[in-house]
Amino acid sequence: MFGIFGEKGICSICGKEKTSKKLSDGFVCSKCLDLCGNNRNTFKKLQETTKNEILEEIEKEKQANLDIANFVETRGVGKLIKFDDNAKKIMFPKTLLRKARIYNYSEVLEYEILEDGNTITKGGLGSAIVGGALFGGIGAVVGGLTGGKKVKEVVKSLKVKIVLDNKIVPAEYIELLTTEFKKDGFVYRVAKQQAEDIVAILASIVAENEKNQANNSNVQNTNDPITEVKRYKELLDNGIITQEEFEKKKKELLNL
């Protein structure tokens, strides 16, 4: 992370601070690193990072802060997560430990409800929601196996995992329960409902993403001359158009 043998240089970003934090093609000071905020790629070693990559991260953070300032909540689940259906943005509000984070709807790939580390509900691009009926089902089975003896089940952890198409933050977690609570208690029931509400909104976003992907794919196919020629060949083979019409259209598409 630091220059060899304490080597120092002027920050390549601000051109003011002297620092020992070395980039692959210069130096960066702590103040400029802080400007990267949530967009800092911590998966990549600083010495392998270029000046331009740091500048890009700073610009992304500026844009994220602007998006947060302009965010207008249209729906949400408590203070856990907020949605702007007009701008197609998701925001995780600021907490004592973390800054607010914002993502595009298009970045949502998968979602999952985890109870004590076990998947209860899961869904995402190209897959249907599975496991929703498992909530509370295990307790009923345990009760049956114990001959009617009451078993007070407890849950120590309940969270929603959101997988993102984002190389800096590949996943976000919404912690609903972090200490032990009884499954037949009020606190668990409220947390469970919040988890289900979050997943319901995420499911609608994923469905919209799938629809947009399908539309984009159709547009690409329409604009692809080779695909269009194949389509007209099928029309020819099925006797819908004549050979002359096919040849004319092929020349138009291939600029012959």
In a shared domain, residues 29 and 126: no
In a shared domain, residues 246 and 214: no
In a shared domain, residues 170 and 66: no
* Strand pairing report for 118-124 and 81-84: unpaired
Which pLDDT value is given to residue 131?
61
- 106-124 residue pLDDT tens: 999 999 999 999 999 888 8
From residue 241, alpha-carbon distances to 61, 221, 227, 228, 250 in Å are 55, 20, 17, 14, 12
In a shared domain, residues 184 and 125: yes
What are the backbone dihedrals phi and psi of residue 203, each rounded to the nearest 5 degrees, phi first? Answer: -65, -40
In a shared domain, residues 28 and 120: no
Which pLDDT value is given to residue 137?
40
Q: Is residue 82 part of a domain?
A: no
Q: Is residue 79 part of a domain?
A: no
On the question of pLDDT at 94 being above 80, the answer is: yes
Q: Is residue 249 part of a domain?
A: yes
Q: Is residue 81 part of a domain?
A: no
In a shared domain, residues 123 and 170: yes
Q: Is residue 77 part of a domain?
A: no
In a shared domain, residues 16 and 118: no
In a shared domain, residues 188 and 124: yes
Q: Which residue has the higher pLDDT, 41 or 78?
A: 78
Confidence of residue 147 (pLDDT cuts 50, 70, 90): very low
CA 117 from chain centre, in angstroms, equals 20
Question: Which residue range(s) make up the domain with 193?
Answer: 106-130+154-219
In a shared domain, residues 114 and 210: yes
- The total of structural domains in the chain comes to 3
